[in-house]
Amino acid sequence: MDSARSSAERAAASTKIVIAGGFGVGKTTLVGSVSEIQPLRTEALVTNESEGVDDLAAVPSKATTTVAMDFGRITLEEDLVLYLFGTPGQRRFWFMWDDLCLGAIGAIVLVDTARLDEAFAPLDYFENKGLPFIVAVNLFDGAQRYDLEEIRAALAIPAHVPMMNIDARSRESAKEALIMVTEYSLTTLMDQVSVG
């Protein structure tokens, strides 16, 4: 009976994290690198139909794009399972973000230093929604490196929002980002409860 109770308690300790950012910033890669299950991907081929609709200049070798979401799962602790939902990056699919964020405790906003301008809309979205988020700068091969505080200033990210560098291809790096957003979200929630 005790083992059944502990299993139920573990199941109750699951939560949802959203991974967001612009087109081609590494959301699908992050979910795939850290998920302990085969991730669900809703990718479609980038075709000539997207010309004039999607800006592929910064990612010319990108052959697929997420059209609904990415889904993965990771167990951080024996009693903490995170369900990961990657958002589509193209503006024409952003109408799905509200549904993907329902029930989430926090978000990771991935940023590419070569395309900082694409980070403004996702940052504004989570600030306006009031959902705790961290900013993870994806360190692409050959990309210009900047100090995190320079990026914070360029994107006008509030001082209380955690930032980190990440390699979305690395399981350990992605796991560190998930731990950071989970801790930050829980701290934010506790602060809100103590004030309220």
Domains of the chain: 2-195 (3.40.50.300)
What does the pLDDT look like over 86-142, one tens digit per residue? 988 666 566 678 888 899 999 999 999 999 999 999 999 999 999 999 999 999 888
Which residue in 120, 127, 121 sits closest to 94, CA to CA?
A: 121
Question: Would you call 121 helix, strand, or coil by DSSP?
Answer: helix
Position of tokens 């809100």?
192
Strands 163-166 and 64-77, by their bridges, are: unpaired
What pTM was estimated for this model as a whole?
A: 0.80
